[in-house]
C-alpha cells in the first residue's frame, strides 16, 4: 500500500491495541493506573466510572494513537535518517574502513 494515511491508521490501531492489551494485563496483575484512566481524565476530568465511559475513553485513546502515527508517517521523509546513522554510527560498522 502506498497511501500513508491508511498505513498510519492501521499502524496506530495495531500499536494501540497491543499497548492496551499489555496495559490491561498489568492492571489485572498489579492494579496499576491504566491508559484508559488518563484518557478519561482528559475527557471527563476524572476517572471513568461506568463501562460506557471506559469504552469512550478507549476509543479516544485509539484515535489519539492513530493521529500520532499519521503525523510520524508524514514527517518521516523529512527526517533524513540515513545521513544521521551514517555519520553517528560509523563506529559500529566494522566493514567500513577509511
Q: With cut-offs at 50, 70 and 90, classify the pLDDT of residue 97.
A: low
Q: So what's the pLDDT on residue 84?
A: 66
* Tens digits of residue pLDDT in 16-74: 999 999 999 999 999 988 988 999 999 999 999 999 999 999 999 999 999 999 999 99
Helices marked H in the chain — which ranges? Answer: 4-30, 35-44, 51-75, 81-88
Domain parsing of the chain, residue ranges: 4-92
Q: Which residues are CB-contacts of 4 (< 8 A; sequence separation ≥ 6)?
A: 70, 73, 74
Q: How far apart are CA 28 and CA 31, in angstroms?
A: 6
Stated pTM of the model: 0.77
**Residues 62 and 16 sit within 8 Å (Cβ to Cβ):** yes
Amino acid at each position: 500500500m502506498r497511501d500513508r494515511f491508511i498505513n498510519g491508521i492501521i499502524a496506530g490501531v495495531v500499536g494501540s491495541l497491543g499497548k492496551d492489551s499489555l496495559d490491561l494485563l498489568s492492571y489485572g496483575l498489579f492494579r496499576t493506573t491504566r491508559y484508559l484512566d488518563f484518557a478519561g481524565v482528559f475527557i471527563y476530568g476524572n476517572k471513568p466510572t461506568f463501562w460506557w465511559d471506559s469504552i469512550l475513553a478507549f476509543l479516544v485513546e485509539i484515535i489519539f494513537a492513530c493521529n500520532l502515527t499519521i503525523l510520524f508517517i508524514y514527517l518521516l521523509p523529512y527526517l533524513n535518517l540515513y545521513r544521521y546513522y551514517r555519520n553517528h554510527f560509523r563506529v559500529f560498522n566494522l566493514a567500513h574502513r577509511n
